[in-house]
Amino acid sequence: MQLFYAPDLTPPEHTLGEEESKHCVRVLRLGVGASIHITDGRGTLYRCELVTADARRCTVRVVEAQHDFEPLPAHLVMAVAPTKNADRFEWFLEKATEIGVGEILPLETEHSERRVFKPERGGKVVTAAMKQSLKAYRPELHPLTPFREAVAAPFEGRKLIAHCAAARSEAGKSYLAQTLRPGEAAMILIGPEGDFSPAEIDFALARGFEEITLGTQRLRTETAAVAATVMFSVVNAKP
């Protein structure tokens, strides 16, 4: 199945943008009458028939619509500090989208080595990963957000912060895979290469965040973020 993305699709007919039209006609060499699948990124999967095969403006007709196509079992927000190497953060965006995540929130922290994030470029990575992994839900990619603003924002679910320092709360650190509960929404904070500062950890704990560990191995930021996403996915996996 070839999957296309059209967030503004409205049945019964729709005209694809130039990028998707070009891929459809010039790359895949599809002609009038061909069947393709399109998602709006909000959970609806459309089976469509190609009405006009124009490399600049393809027109399709909706034949069938599947709503809530393979929804995520629980909502996950991954709040991660972008890495110094932009390619590594984009790798995380790609893998998190493939695994399944509801929102991705780039964090600006005290120890951040990268304080510029280009959401347009990141959005293209997310969209491509969504299409390649045949998902109908596109993760919401937020702009770069200051740490304290992200932590103070309302969130209905478990709030978890991973860090490498010694535990600062009486409860101590819990192993992420063992503390997650199936079906429960979660926000997981992953720090930069220099980790969160003690002040940031205390700020998060004072606002209801729980300390977690991902294990004894020392992980890069992007690896830790993918590991956390995988743990959440495994806990919520359906048999």
Which tens digits make up the pLDDT trace of 111-131? 998 888 999 999 999 999 999
Position 115 scores a pLDDT of 85
Position 238 scores a pLDDT of 76
Per-residue model confidence as pLDDT tens digits over 72-113? 999 999 999 999 999 999 999 999 999 999 999 999 999 998
- Alpha-helix runs per DSSP H in the chain: 18-22, 86-99, 119-132, 147-152, 176-179, 198-205, 221-235
Q: Among residues 11, 43, 66, which one ends one of the domains?
A: 66
Report strand pairing: 45-52 vs 35-39: antiparallel
Residues 111 and 37 in one domain: no
Say what percent of the chain tops pLDDT 70.
100
239, pLDDT greater than 80: no
Q: Among residues 37, 66, 95, which one ends one of the domains?
A: 66
Residue 71 lies in a domain: no
Q: Among residues 66, 92, 118, which one ends one of the domains?
A: 66
Residue 203: closest CA among 109, 66, 73: 109
Instruction: Please report, for residues 7, 54, 151, 211, the alpha-carbon distance to residue 58 in angstroms, rounded to integers and kept in the order given.
Output: 15, 5, 44, 51
Residues 166 and 141 in one domain: yes
Residues 110 and 192 in one domain: yes
CATH at residue 45: 2.40.240.20
26, pLDDT greater than 80: yes
Least confident of 44-48, 140-144, 168-172: 168-172
Position 62 scores a pLDDT of 97
Position 133 scores a pLDDT of 96
Q: pTM score > 0.85 for this model?
A: yes
Residues 60 and 17 in one domain: yes
180, pLDDT greater than 90: yes
Say what percent of the chain tops pLDDT 90.
90
Q: Which domain holds residue 86?
A: 76-235
Residues 85 and 46 in one domain: no
Position 1 scores a pLDDT of 83
Residues paired with residue 141 on neighbouring β-strands, in sequence order: 104
